[in-house]
Each structure stands twice: as structure tokens, then as C-alpha cells.
Amino acid sequence: MKYTVSPPATIDAEIQLTTSKSVCNRALIIAALCQDKVELKNISDSDDSQILDACLSGEGPLFNIGAAGTAMRFLTAYLAQKPGEWQITGSERMKQRPIGVLVDALRELGADIEYAENEGYPPLNIKGKKLQGGELTLKSNISSQFISAILMIAPTLEGGLTLTLDGDIISRPYIQMTLDLMAYFGVEAVWSDHQITIPEKTYAAEVFDVEIDWSGASYWYEVVAFCKAAKVLLKGAQAVSYQGDADVQSIYKALGVQTTFTEEGALLQNTGYTMAYFEWNLIDQPDLAQTVVTTCAMLNIPFKISGLQTLRIKETDRIAALINELAKYGIAIRESEAGTLEWNGETCEKASDISIATYDDHRMALAFAPTALLHPGISIQEPEVVSKSYPGYWDDMKMVGFDINS
């Protein structure tokens, strides 16, 4: 299946965004670790959060998380400390995504985990039990989800945990998000330089309200950047957020979008400002990469965007996917060095019919659909992939005035 997307003449809309799957998935794990029941309000309707919620609500022993990478990482750590025998599996793509670093770390804490098929990859067989705390060292350049998975179970470890992060820390805001949520549930960690210390303690809270998804908001920043007369109100968005992706506000200020907070939410407006050259390090916001790269390319702004080291092990190889799909517009971007995408204005032969491959990656569909404002009639292949993080995306696009035809 594919959708053909054509733009509206003007845009003046209010959007009720889905809630954050990053915040929600952490809250789901921490709430499951609480002794008393916690009321979680506004659980994200994303595939990842719904799958994780179903797994935590079920009895097992087999958990199939499909393509939900966060669920795979967080459940592995959670089940390692939960008495019982468990197996976690997933989609064929999930079976190609490495998890050895997390498994090795959990084994150092006493976990009993075996690979059911290929060494270093899911599926996993887990015999859950009480784990030992103490000291643990992890490379800082690994996925923050591995680090967060360890941090969230740290209060359950005997004696707590002192975690040392070795090297330059990537995706720092995601680690901070985890620690902030742990603090909400009553466990205060101390993060000093490259060392995080977590006491052995019981989580506790009565209610937690999940906030809106700033990653999802980024696609509306892109829409406003492409349409000079656009106004979009993101209902419920607040200036203070657990999410590092809330920095989309400052990123897009440099790309012509002003954010004004009102009692109703965040109002986005096009300022008409464009830069001659854009340079940014997205090491703390890698999930914004497809949106920002596509925006710069479509606005004809040469750029250098770094900090993209983790993009090759996401739902797809996002660096390769961006290079391939932007080439269809006649835009020849390149990876100048590992984790850095650049464009100096170089062009290539444009496709006669632009049809965007999504590679089973929700963010490819989400980031490329707004380009219809500048290239009416593009098509998006396998558009249903947006359900992973933003199930109502196409309905919102139609409500704004986009013409979506299958």
C-alpha cells in the first residue's frame, strides 16, 4: 500500500498530539517495579507503548515485542530481576539488532540470560532472580536505552548500583529523562561527571500523567517551516519537559519557526527567516535527525549535521535511508564522516515520480510526508508504519487539509 500526498493551500490548525512513548515506556517499567499499583494517565497509543503495556500486564512466559526496540531493551533488564523463566522474541529486523552489550552488563550483575538463536541477538531466554548491585562500567557511546534499562532496575539490586560511563556520553537527555522519572517515583540518583550512583530503594507513586510527544511535534515544525503562512497550535505542549527532543524549539527557530507558549499549548508560526548554512550536533536528539535533515534539504539550506552515530542501528539504517530517499528529489547528501551528514548544494538526477520507501521505519514516513508542501503528489510507501509512534498522524494530516489518497 502507498499514500499519495497533496498539500492544502493554507494551514491554520490545532493538533492534539499523542503522548511521549519515551516517557511512557520508562514510566511503565518503573510503575511495574513499584510494590503498590500506580495509576498511569494518558498512556501513549504508539505501538511500542501498547506492546510494552501488554507485556507487563500479561503473565508470559513468552513475550513477542515485534519491532519495538525500546520494549526489547527495557523488558530484558526488567525480566532479568523478576523471578521466573521468560523468553523475549521479536520481528526478523529485531533479531538483527544487537543486544549483547546489555546482556553482558546484566550478566555482570548476576543475570541468567541465554541467546535462543544467534549470539549477541534476540531472542533471549531469561531466568529471572534477585540481582547483585555494586559497581558496573559501560561504554558511553552505546544506546542510551541500554543504560536506561540498567538504571531503572538499579534500585532493586542488592546494595544499589554505581554505574560508570566510559567515554563521551551520547544521548545524555535520554539518560537524564530516566533519572528524572526515577526521582518522580521516589528514587534520587546522584550523577557526577561520568558516574551515576543509585541507592537500593523501593519505588513509590500514586499517579503519573504522561506528557505530549516532542518527537511527534517535530513533524509539525517541519510543516510550518515549509509553509510561510502556517499557524499550528500543539495543544497541551508545555515549555518544561522530560524530553530532550523539546529542543526542537531552538533548532527550528534557526530554520524559521517561532514557538510561543499559551495557556492552550505551543503556537508555531513561520517567521520567514532562513539561514545560508545550518550546522548542528544532534548527539542529544538523534530521533530528530530525519526531520531536520529533510527540512534543510527541502529549504535548499546547505548543512552539516553531526551526532548521528546511533542511526545505523535504529529501525533501519537511517543514514543510508536518508541518502537514498533525498536523492529522489535530486538532492545528493553524503556521510562525510561516521555519524555526520553533509550537503553543499550538490544535485543528482531527480526521480520522475517521487515514491518514498519507508524501510519499516515510522520516522521515514513521518518526516517525508510534509515534503508534499513543496513537491505535491509525492507518495509514501507502507504508510501504516507511523503507528509505531504516531498512530493518528494521517488523520491529523487530513484534518489540517492535506489530501491523502491510497
Residues acting as catalytic residues: 287
Which amino acid, one-letter code, is at 234?
L
Query: Residue 63: which H helix or E strand, with range?
Result: strand 62-64
Contact 82, 69 (CB under 8 A): no
Greatest Cα pair distance in the chain: 63
Query: Which grid coordinates belong to 23?
Result: 516517557
Which residue reads 529501525 in cell numbers? 315
Contact 129, 156 (CB under 8 A): no
The 8 Å CB, 24+ separation contacts for 80-83 are: 80/106, 80/109, 80/111, 80/112, 80/113, 80/126, 80/128, 80/131, 80/153, 81/111, 81/128, 81/129, 81/130, 81/131, 81/153, 81/156, 81/157, 82/128, 83/128, 83/129, 83/130
Rounded to an integer, what distance in angstroms lies between the CA atom of residue 221 and that of residue 256?
9
Contact 252, 221 (CB under 8 A): yes
Rounded to an integer, what distance in angstroms lies between the CA atom of residue 87 and that of residue 98?
16
Beta bridge partners of 307: none
Rounded to an integer, what distance in angstroms lies between the CA atom of residue 231 and that of residue 139?
43
Q: What does the DSSP 8-state code read for residue 20?
A: P
- Cα 240 to chain centroid, rounded: 18
Contact 343, 331 (CB under 8 A): yes
